[in-house]
């Protein structure tokens, strides 16, 4: 069923609440809207305060949620200062498409970023958004070795 605008916000609110209550470490968001929603913004801020890493796909025309300050913005290519993490990733197409077709874009890159964030949390439960970004940028573990 197609959700109306109110249904989309309600579904997203419920999804974020579910993530908070079930102990999620990472929330991956491969969608975009033209504007934010106050209740959703509050939930993103709460998740961030609890150390849950939030990643969102970059969209040049639809700024939310990737421009929210608590969210790590991901794209498959460097665009500008709005992108926190660039992963030049391509994903295989569905089985219904031409064999070998690839999808380039921010959504596959966001899925990989979420996986990296989950690995970081498995390595050290203290990883949060700021630590994750810092370690990705500088490539150092807490013990001084290269990598996460």
pLDDT tens-place string over residues 1-37: 445 557 888 999 999 999 999 999 999 999 999 998 8
Whole-structure pTM value: 0.82
Distance CA 8, CA 64 (A): 14
Taking the alpha carbons at both ends of the chain, their separation in whole angstroms is: 41
Q: What is the mean pLDDT of residues 100-113?
A: 77
The pLDDT tens digits of the residues spanning 36-92 come to: 889 999 999 999 999 999 999 999 899 999 999 999 999 888 877 778 888 887 665
Torsion angle of alpha carbons 17, 21, 27, 33, nearest 10°? 0
Contact 59, 83 (CB under 8 A): no
């Amino acid at each position: 069923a197609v959700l109306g605008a109110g249904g989309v916000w309600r579904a997203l609110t419920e999804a974020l609440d579910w993530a908070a209550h079930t102990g999620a470490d990472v929330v991956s968001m491969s969608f975009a809207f033209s504007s934010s929603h106050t209740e959703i913004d509050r939930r993103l801020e709460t998740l961030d305060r609890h150390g849950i890493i939030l990643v969102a796909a970059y969209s040049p025309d639809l700024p939310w949620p990737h421009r929210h300050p608590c969210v790590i913005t991901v794209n498959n290519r460097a665009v500008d200062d709005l992108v926190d993490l660039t992963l030049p990733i391509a994903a295989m197409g569905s089985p219904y498409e031409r064999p070998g077709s690839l999808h380039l874009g921010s959504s596959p890159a966001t899925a990989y970023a979420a996986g990296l964030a989950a690995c970081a949390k498995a390595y050290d439960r203290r990883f949060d958004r700021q630590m994750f970004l810092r370690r990705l940028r500088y490539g150092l573990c807490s013990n001084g070795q290269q990598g996460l």
